[in-house]
A and B are shown apart, each in its own frame.
Chain A
């Protein structure tokens, strides 16, 4: 994807928005210019920035928490068939449950404040990361482990030189896949029991104050946050896992997991570049 194409698309979207607002011609759909002005006014003169930071903090802290707990758990499940046998039915049952339905329950148990919001997003990311890291860890060839052990590696060196780099792509893929869902659920979670966060801000301006440009400014802020998170994952992926983006030699045939991995990588490349 070229930058120029991206820019043209943005301009196209703004034009369609402008056109739609002219056609609708009611306060519920202000023009993009009005929203941009409202966005900067709200950001610098009102407290939109505060709401944005509150939401960002919730997303980032729950992401860190999810990585810190799910990645090691995924590695353990992926490397131990016994553990996987014990826990895989549980993961299998809980993974597809839409975590957003747990919002009221988590709110009941954890009350007001940041904690319930962080827990909800954590739950979404946790299972996503767990499953992907587990599958990635299970795909590590035993030959690779034995080779590195034969070079003198014990448990700690194996973690440092094999498990950690092997699980990085899975963590990043999981983040890429779930960052959109996380922001969506954050919005829902912030509708309840809080006075900070973009979810609260959008709802409050739209339904109580009827300040539509401000409401749209909140929508823009939430969208920009989602985009920024997505691009950050992209950037991290290229920085931290450069081997996934190298040119594959056409002479290399192969089948089985190696080939599959290559296809997976190629797919990841298409999504990102």
Chain B
């Protein structure tokens, strides 16, 4: 199992991860993506959102 532990402050944000750690975050995914791609090579990065943990996933 792969564990990514995120601080509560990232909930509701978009985050850029490098080595499973948050390196950038923003509410706006376009701003985040643009900044992250300028700063880090794509093969090291992962972009994702952090849905609030109290929400039940119904997919």
Partners in one complex: no
